[in-house]
Amino acid sequence: MLDDLDTMHLTEQSSNTARIDELEQRVMFQDDLLEQLNQSLVTQTQQILALQQHLKLLYQKLAPQLTQTPLVEAFEPLYDIPPHF
């Protein structure tokens, strides 16, 4: 009877060890994945900041031109007929 209990206890202990090992592997995988996602987020944030800076510089260069030249010419629908009519 004692042998059966010892065998059952060893089997249960082995099963628990396997479950703990599997959980540890999952945690390590999730930690690695979280680190990769964090690094991607840092890289994307840096890229967004650089793009915003470029956009700001472009706007500063184009702003004087935009105020001097109208983007759309005045159009009077009663007198100005589009070229396809």
* Cα dihedral sign, 75-77-79-80: positive
Record the pTM.
Answer: 0.56
Question: How far does CA 29 lie from the centroid of its chain?
Answer: 19
pLDDT (tens, 9 = 90+) of the chain, 85 residues, equals 557 766 777 788 888 999 999 999 999 999 999 999 999 999 999 999 999 999 999 999 988 887 776 666 677 777 777 676 5
- Token pair of 83 as six digits: 């070229």
d(CA 12, CA 29): 26
Give how far Cα 20 sits from Cα of 13, 15, 39, 71, Å: 10, 9, 28, 68
For CA atoms 6, 9, 15, 19, give the dihedral sign. Answer: negative
